[in-house]
Amino acid sequence: MKFRYLALLLLFLFFNSTVNAQQLYTLNGVITDASSNETLIGVNLLVPEASTGVVTNDYGYYSIKLPQGEYEIEISYIGYQSIQKTINLDSNQKLDFQLTEASESLDEVVITSDIEGLNIRKPEMSVNKLSISTIQKLPVVFGEVDVVRSLLLLPGVSNAGEGSSGFNVRGGAVDQNLILLDEATIYNSSHLFGLFSVFNPDAIKDLKLYKGGIPAKYGGRVSSVLDIYQRDGNSKEFKMQGGIGAISSRLLAEGPIVKDKGSFLIGGRSSYAHLFLKLTDNENSAYFYDLNTKLSYNLDDRNKLLLSGYFGRDVFNISQNFENTYGNAVLNLRWNHIFSDNIFTNLSVIYSDYYYGLNLNFVGFNWDSGIKNLNIKYDFNHYINDNLQLKYGMQNTYYEFNPGEIKPIDEDSGINYFKLTNKYAFENAVYLSAEHRLSDKFSAEYGLRLSTFLRLGQDEINVYEDNHPVEYDAERDIYREADILETVESSRSEVLKAYNNFEPRIALAYTLDENQSIKASYNRMAQYLHLISNTSSPTPLDVWAPSGSFIKPQVLDQYAVGYFRNFKENEFSLEVEGFYKDIDNRIDYIDGANLIANNAIERVVLNGESRAYGMELLLRKNTGRLTGWLAYTLSKSEQRTPGRTAIEPGINNGNWYNTNYDKTHDLSMTGSYELNRKWQLNANFIFQTGLATTYPNAQYEYEGINIPVYGERNGDRLPSYHRLDLSATYEPGVKEGKKVESFWTFGLYNVYNRQNAYSISFRENSDTGENEAVRLSLFGIIPSVTYNFKF
């Protein structure tokens, strides 16, 4: 019933916007960088006379309908010189613009026209953008510029401690983030167990993080969307850039294939093998590398092809006994086509996989696991008029899950060959979304996504008594794996279980005056894949499992409200948001669940729920010599798994408990000061409540070992986390006749050498035999130098 009303509402809104018809013409085109022809995402095109405007889409395209007439249009983009141009619109016109980068010099007046003004009006909320140039200046550990680490400085984004993998958005889990690189899903965003992310900053053009009010275009994960676009490459001239750092080095080449029509980009990054390990004279190594590639070609005015690829691996090797390799690979072909002046489409065909391999020589086996998917997306941007833009499309994904395969390395091996049953699934979605200006003060973005998930047949399906794969032993008061009654087979064309979800999305903005607005949003999202992990933070060997008969899809409802304000002619901006979300069917694991090489994961999981709520504040200083922001988040993130029946206790006695990434207070301050043309100084300060953990409250001796007895799950806290980082960027400037531009970054991480607790563990001291608490801290003060060049 609810959806019928929604459909009526949609109809009404359409109707409302199409009543006042008059002669309209379309202005459309692509906005690019003048030096490289790189398309620019999110450029503002304003038409002050008509008090309207448009923003370029993910492929640099814009389209706007205006009544016949003469207009002065303004095009502005952060970091670029604005353009003003008078046009006489008496027919449909295609007009491409090229923007020139603003000179770095402070003395020149850079026109910073109403950049934020439009955002005040837009219903878009809970979205953070970080430009690559901002990210490059932030002080970071080992001087390694890192996309995900930078996100952690934003409100509502945190992680489960230094050196943990992934990131958590608004109290959501790591596997609930949809990470897209050029529209392709990335399953593991971490190198070196989470110290670095898989994104090479040199190859990235733009990134956007949606924490709430997520448009209907996105789905499949419930917590957030990190949408990252790679650069297309320079189609004007050949360029190279790179950097040499403490951990890794980077090199990227780009240039035209056909001048002004086609370009290529290829970028590689590698850490130094044996980096930390060589010191101890042994044959161990630990390193990572990744490769980003892109080809783009403009077939004609209306058609463009883009081929992009990513390949990354982490490799660990310990004294020939142990070899571990894992990483993502992505290949993606896209076709941009402009149907008419106001319909832009993108068709993507994407292959993406995640591989985890292990070779344990001393035990005598190899282990392989992974996930593969083939994804076809067709997305339409339809510019109806200057008040209404529609986005609609469809997405189909076919998944193949390989939970693991064990192969003995030779005949002498004591290990038998074993294949965990492959799983298959189809995920489909159609969506319709409208960006709609309802009046001068009121605008909305609303839409609906209909997603379906089909779990397909597989070789072995377990059958359990009463369909309960987890058994409760009331006498001993424990959960355990139920016995498998029989195993049946079904064909791959058969649907074992189907799920449908209506996912309404709505975001509203009401402009109070030129500088202030209030916004509200609601979104429902469904997630059909689950990362099977019962450690505090995911590990690379965790496998993804599809929903099915026993594991249900996670379904989120999120509500957010916010207040947005620009001060002092946009020198400062303030964003305050409150959010509440709950997620059904968040799985949890029974005590003693063994997830490794488990062919029947359903026997160790129970369906539970999670919720999170909080308040975020972001105060930014956007212009002047000193820029930066202060971000503060006050939040709570919890989870619970009640018993299935009244006599069962559930997990943690069915009580809510803090998630591993719950942080009550999370404060970060980031500042950047331009001292002069050559030097720029940057600083971060971070303060966070310590992570939730569990301390023992007793101990006993059993079979000769001391066993700690633990209290309420995650009922204790590690000590507070705080640190200060500093960095300085030095740009010597380009010398006459030389083409090499370069800059140096000098960094100091954790300046006052705070021994932040990575963990507190409890153990028996092997010398004294006494129990003790041990704090492990990962990073003390770390200086770093990075050299970057461009020519």
Dihedrals φ, ψ of 654, to 5°?
75, 5
Q: Which pair of structure tokens corresponds to residue 701?
A: 């001796």
From 110-118, 210-218, 236-244, 530-538, give the range in contact with other proteins by CB under 8 A: 530-538
| R_g of the chain, CA atoms, integer Å | 27
Compare residues 654 and 733 and give the one whose CB is closer to other proteins.
654
CB of 358 to other proteins, least distance (A): 6
* Contact yes or no for 672/666 (Cβ under 8 A): no
Q: Which pair of structure tokens corresponds to residue 154?
A: 């934003």
Compare residues 52 and 164 and give the one whose CB is closer to other proteins.
164
182: left (phi over 0), alpha (psi -120 to 50) or beta: left
Q: Is 737 in the site for other proteins (CB under 8 A)?
A: no
Partners of 624 in beta bridges: none
From 248-256, 410-418, 424-432, 446-454, give the range in contact with other proteins by CB under 8 A: 410-418
**Neighbouring residues of 101: CB distance < 8 A, sequence distance ≥ 6:** 33, 34, 35, 79, 80, 81
Compare residues 255 and 357 and give the one whose CB is closer to other proteins.
357
Compare residues 358 and 545 and give the one whose CB is closer to other proteins.
358
**Neighbouring residues of 780: CB distance < 8 A, sequence distance ≥ 6:** 750, 753, 755
Q: Is 592 in the site for other proteins (CB under 8 A)?
A: yes
Compare residues 205 and 717 and give the one whose CB is closer to other proteins.
717
Dihedrals φ, ψ of 589, to 5°?
-115, 140
Binding footprint of other proteins, residue count (CB under 8 A): 94
Partners of 330 in beta bridges: 310, 352
When binding is defined by CB under 8 A, the residue of 414, 466, 676, 738 that contacts other proteins is: 414
What part of residues 657-716 is at the interface with other proteins (CB under 8 A)? 660, 694-711, 713-714
The DSSP letter of residue 236 is: S
CB of 687 to other proteins, least distance (A): 20
Compare residues 229 and 316 and give the one whose CB is closer to other proteins.
316
The DSSP letter of residue 291 is: E
Compare residues 4 and 476 and give the one whose CB is closer to other proteins.
476
What part of residues 463-492 is at the interface with other proteins (CB under 8 A)? 475-478, 480
Position of tokens 């016109």?
93
Dihedrals φ, ψ of 276, to 5°?
-95, -10
**Pick from 123, 128, 69, 125: which is nearest to 93 by CA?**
69
CB of 279 to other proteins, least distance (A): 9
Compare residues 268 and 404 and give the one whose CB is closer to other proteins.
404
What part of residues 350-369 is at the interface with other proteins (CB under 8 A)? 358, 360, 362-363, 365, 367
CB of 738 to other proteins, least distance (A): 39
Q: Is 536 in the site for other proteins (CB under 8 A)?
A: yes
Compare residues 476 and 739 and give the one whose CB is closer to other proteins.
476
* Contact yes or no for 401/371 (Cβ under 8 A): yes
What part of residues 144-173 is at the interface with other proteins (CB under 8 A)? 160-161, 163-165
Q: Is 320 in the site for other proteins (CB under 8 A)?
A: yes
Q: Is 594 in the site for other proteins (CB under 8 A)?
A: yes
126: left (phi over 0), alpha (psi -120 to 50) or beta: left
From 305-313, 319-327, 332-340, 669-677, give the range in contact with other proteins by CB under 8 A: 319-327
Compare residues 210 and 661 and give the one whose CB is closer to other proteins.
661
From 34-42, 186-194, 447-455, 679-687, give the range in contact with other proteins by CB under 8 A: 186-194
List own/partner pairs for 465-469 with CB under 8 A and 24 or more apart.
Answer: 467/549, 467/550, 468/644, 469/550, 469/600, 469/602, 469/603
From 193-201, 439-447, 499-507, 742-750, give the range in contact with other proteins by CB under 8 A: 193-201
Dihedrals φ, ψ of 166, to 5°?
75, -165
Dihedrals φ, ψ of 225, to 5°?
-130, 125
Identify residue 330 by its one-letter amino acid code.
Answer: V
When binding is defined by CB under 8 A, the residue of 286, 448, 605, 631 that contacts other proteins is: 286
Q: Please work out, in degrees rounded to the nearest 5, the angle formed at the alpha carbon of residue 327 by the alpha carbons of 321 and 331.
A: 145
In what helix (H) or strand (E) does residue 118 lie, and over which residues does it extend?
A: helix 115-121
Q: Strand, helix or coil at 455?
A: strand
Q: Is 276 in the site for other proteins (CB under 8 A)?
A: yes
Q: Is 69 in the site for other proteins (CB under 8 A)?
A: no
The contact pattern for other proteins, residues 752-791, with x = CB under 8 A and - = no contact, is: ---x--xxxxx-xxx--xxxxxxxxxxxx-----------
What part of residues 202-241 is at the interface with other proteins (CB under 8 A)? none
Q: Please work out, in degrees rounded to the nearest 5, the angle formed at the alpha carbon of residue 275 by the alpha carbons of 270 and 280.
A: 160
What part of residues 100-129 is at the interface with other proteins (CB under 8 A)? none
CB of 160 to other proteins, least distance (A): 5
When binding is defined by CB under 8 A, the residue of 110, 251, 277, 748 that contacts other proteins is: 277
CB of 477 to other proteins, least distance (A): 6
Query: How far is residue 743's CA from residue 679's CA, in Å, rounded to a whole number?
Result: 10
Query: How far is residue 301's CA from residue 645's CA, in Å, rounded to a whole number?
Result: 63
Q: Which pair of structure tokens corresponds to residue 31?
A: 């906005």
What part of residues 323-342 is at the interface with other proteins (CB under 8 A)? 324
When binding is defined by CB under 8 A, the residue of 108, 283, 465, 569 that contacts other proteins is: 283
From 48-56, 430-438, 588-596, 737-745, give the range in contact with other proteins by CB under 8 A: 588-596
Compare residues 44 and 189 and give the one whose CB is closer to other proteins.
189
Identify residue 5 by its one-letter amino acid code.
Answer: Y
When binding is defined by CB under 8 A, the residue of 179, 192, 222, 525 that contacts other proteins is: 192
When binding is defined by CB under 8 A, the residue of 25, 193, 632, 789 that contacts other proteins is: 193
**Pick from 133, 129, 136: which is nearest to 115 by CA?**
129
The contact pattern for other proteins, residues 490-529, with x = CB under 8 A and - = no contact, is: ----------------------------------------
Q: Strand, helix or coil at 431?
A: strand
Compare residues 592 and 783 and give the one whose CB is closer to other proteins.
592
CB of 336 to other proteins, least distance (A): 41
> HSE (CB half, 13 Å, CA atoms) of 24?
19
Compare residues 337 and 480 and give the one whose CB is closer to other proteins.
480
The DSSP letter of residue 91 is: S
Neighbours of 650 (CB within 10 A): 18
Q: Is 289 in the site for other proteins (CB under 8 A)?
A: no
CB of 236 to other proteins, least distance (A): 43
Query: How far is residue 545's CA from residue 531's CA, in Å, rounded to a whole number?
Result: 6
From 60-68, 280-288, 575-583, 618-626, give the range in contact with other proteins by CB under 8 A: 280-288
Compare residues 617 and 760 and give the one whose CB is closer to other proteins.
760
**Cα–Cα separations (whole angstroms), residue 332 to 184, 230, 255, 311, 377:** 7, 12, 20, 12, 11
When binding is defined by CB under 8 A, the residue of 537, 633, 635, 672 that contacts other proteins is: 537
Compare residues 57 and 284 and give the one whose CB is closer to other proteins.
284
User: What is the distance, to the nearest Å, from the Cα of residue 380 to the centroid of all Cα atoms in its chain?
Assistant: 23
* Contact yes or no for 544/373 (Cβ under 8 A): no
* Contact yes or no for 338/344 (Cβ under 8 A): yes
Query: How far is residue 274's CA from residue 316's CA, in Å, rounded to a whole number?
Result: 9
Q: Is 374 in the site for other proteins (CB under 8 A)?
A: no
Compare residues 32 and 271 and give the one whose CB is closer to other proteins.
271
CB of 762 to other proteins, least distance (A): 7
Compare residues 82 and 714 and give the one whose CB is closer to other proteins.
714
Neighbours of 363 (CB within 10 A): 13
Q: Is 62 in the site for other proteins (CB under 8 A)?
A: no
